[in-house]
Amino acid sequence: MWSFVLKRLLHMIPLLLGVSLLTFLLMSLAPGDYFTALSQNPQISPATIAHLKAQFHLDQPWYVQYFYWFKSILHGDFGYSMAYKIPATSLIVQRLWNTFLLSFLALIIAWGIAIPLGIWAAVRKDSWVDRGCSLVAFVGLSVPDVLLSLLALWFAAASGWFPVGGAQSALYDFMPPAQQFWDRVHHLILPALVLAAADMAGIMRQMRSNLLDTLRAEYVTAARARGLGEGWVIYKHALRNAINPLLTIFGYSLAALLSGAFIVENIMAWPGLGRLTMEAFFAKDSYLVVDCVVMATALLVIGNFIADLLLAWSDPRIRLK
Amino acid sequence: MNETAPIQSANAEQPLSPWQLFRRRLKRRRIAMAGGAILIVLYLVALLAGFVAPYGFDRLDTNYSFHPPIWPRLQGLHLVVPRYEQAGSVFNYHIVANDSKPLHFFVRGDKYTLLGLIPATIHLFGTGDKDYPVYLLGADQFGRDVFSRLLYGSQISLSIGIVGIVLSFAFGMIIGGISGYFVGATDTVIMRLCELIMSIPALYLIISLRAAFPADMSSAKVYAMIIIILSFIGWASMARVIRGMTLSLREQQFVLAARALGQSHLKIIVRHILPNTFSYVIVAATLSVPYYILGEVVLSFLGVGIQEPSASWGNMLTAAQNTEYLRNYPWLLAPGAAIFVTVLAFNFLGDGLRDAADTKSL
Q: Cβ separation of A277 and B344 shorter than 8 Å?
A: no
Q: What are the Cα distances from residue A298, in Å, to A248, A293, B201?
A: 18, 8, 10
CA separation for the pair B121, B113 (Å, rounded) = 8
Q: What is the pLDDT of residues B84-123, one digit of tens each?
A: 777 766 777 777 777 777 777 787 777 777 777 778 777 7
How does residue A109 score in pLDDT terms, banded at 50, 70 and 90? very high
Q: Cβ separation of B347 and A138 shorter than 8 Å?
A: yes
Q: Which residues, 6+ apart, have CB-to-CB distance to B135 below 8 Å? A: B64, B67, B68, B69, B70, B145, B146, B147
What does the angle CA B63 – CA B69 – CA B71 come to, to the nearest 5 degrees?
Answer: 120
CA separation for the pair B262, B251 (Å, rounded) = 16
Could you give the ipTM of this predicted complex? Answer: 0.85
Minimal Cα–Cα distance from A100 to chain B, Å? 14
Handedness of CA A149, A150, A155, A157 (dihedral sign): positive
Q: What is the pLDDT of residues B233-245, one digit of tens each?
A: 889 988 988 888 8
Q: For chain A, where are the E strands, in sequence order?
A: none
CA separation for the pair A245, A207 (Å, rounded) = 9
Q: What is the pLDDT of residues B301-322, one digit of tens each?
A: 888 888 888 888 988 888 888 8
Among residues of chain A, what percentage have pLDDT more than 70? 98
Question: How high is the pLDDT of residue B11?
Answer: 55
Q: Cβ separation of B321 and A259 shorter than 8 Å?
A: no
Window 64-123 of A: residues touching B by CB (8 A cutoff) are none
| Per-residue three-class SS string for chain B | CCCCHHHCCCCCCCCCCHHHHHHHHHHHCHHHHHHHHHHHHHHHHHHCHHHHCCCCCCCCCHHHCCCCCCCCEEECCEEEEEEEEECCCCCCEEEEEEEEEECEEEEEEEEEEECCCEEEEEEEEECCCCCCCCCCCCECCCCCEHHHHHHHHHHHHHHHHHHHHHHHHHHHHHHHHHHHHHCHHHHHHHHHHHHHHHHCCHHHHHHHHHHCCCCCCCHHHHHHHHHHHHHHHHHHHHHHHHHHHHHHHCCCHHHHHHHHCCCCHHHHHHHHHHHHHHHHHHHHHHHHHHHHHHHHHHHHHCCCCCCCCCCCHHHHHHHHHCHHHHHHCHHHHHHHHHHHHHHHHHHHHHHHHHHHHCCCCC
Q: What is the pLDDT of residues B12-60, one digit of tens each?
A: 567 777 777 777 777 777 888 888 899 999 999 888 888 888 887 777 7
DSSP string, A122-156: HHTTTSHHHHHHHHHHHHHHHS-HHHHHHHHHHHH
More confident residue, B5 or B185: B185
How does residue B167 score in pLDDT terms, banded at 50, 70 and 90? very high
Question: How high is the pLDDT of residue B342?
Answer: 92
CA separation for the pair B320, B336 (Å, rounded) = 10
Handedness of CA A46, A51, A57, A61 (dihedral sign): positive
Q: Cβ separation of B344 and A274 shorter than 8 Å?
A: no
Show residues of chain A in contact with B301, CB under 8 Å: 146
For the ranges A168-177, A277-286, B26-35, B45-54, the lowest mean pLDDT is seen at A168-177
Question: How high is the pLDDT of residue B362?
Answer: 43
How does residue A320 score in pLDDT terms, banded at 50, 70 and 90? low
Average pLDDT over residues B199-220: 86
Residue of B nearest to A288 (CA): B208
Q: A253 and chain B: CB distance < 8 Å anywhere?
A: no
Question: How high is the pLDDT of residue A23?
Answer: 87
Question: How high is the pLDDT of residue B103?
Answer: 75
For the ranges A108-117, B34-43, B128-137, the lowest mean pLDDT is seen at B128-137
How does residue A122 score in pLDDT terms, banded at 50, 70 and 90? confident
Relative orientation angle of helices A145-159 and A177-215, to the nearest 10 degrees: 140
CA separation for the pair A110, B38 (Å, rounded) = 31
First to last CA, chain B: 21
How does residue B163 score in pLDDT terms, banded at 50, 70 and 90? very high
Q: What are phi and psi of A149, to 5 degrees?
A: -65, -40
Question: How high is the pLDDT of residue B3?
Answer: 47
Average pLDDT over residues B290-307: 88
Instruction: Work out the mean pLDDT of chain A and round it to a whole number.
Output: 83
Site from A11, A15, A23 to mutate, B interface, most B CB atoms within 10 angstroms: A23
Site from A150, A278, A282 to mutate, B interface, most B CB atoms within 10 angstroms: A150
CA separation for the pair B176, B239 (Å, rounded) = 4
Please check the confidence at residue B282 and state whether its pLDDT lies above 70: yes
Question: How high is the pLDDT of residue B43?
Answer: 92
Question: How high is the pLDDT of residue B166?
Answer: 92
Instruction: Work out the mean pLDDT of chain B and round it to a whole number.
Output: 82
Q: Are B301 and A146 in contact (CB under 8 A)?
A: yes
Q: What is the pLDDT of residues A192-223, one digit of tens each?
A: 998 988 888 888 888 888 888 888 888 888 88
Average pLDDT over residues B140-169: 88
| Listed residue (A293, A307, A223) closest to A21, CA to CA | A293
CA separation for the pair A150, B321 (Å, rounded) = 7
Q: What's the pTM?
A: 0.84
Question: How high is the pLDDT of residue A50?
Answer: 78
Question: How high is the pLDDT of residue A59?
Answer: 73
Q: Are B235 and B171 in contact (CB under 8 A)?
A: yes
How does residue A319 score in pLDDT terms, banded at 50, 70 and 90? low
Q: Are A247 and A157 in contact (CB under 8 A)?
A: no
Show residues of chain B in contact with A199, CB under 8 Å: none
Q: Cβ separation of B323 and A278 shorter than 8 Å?
A: no
Q: A30 and chain B: CB distance < 8 Å anywhere?
A: yes
Q: Is the peptide bond before B309 cis (omega within 30 degrees of 0)?
A: yes
CA separation for the pair B167, B235 (Å, rounded) = 8
For A34: left if phi > 0, alpha if psi spans -120 to 50, otherwise beta; the answer is alpha
| Listed residue (B72, B86, B66) closest to B139, CA to CA | B66
Average pLDDT over residues A102-127: 88
Show residues of chain A in contact with B327, CB under 8 Å: 154, 157-158
Please check the confidence at residue B126 and state whether its pLDDT lies above 80: no
Please check the confidence at residue B1 and state whether its pLDDT lies above 70: no
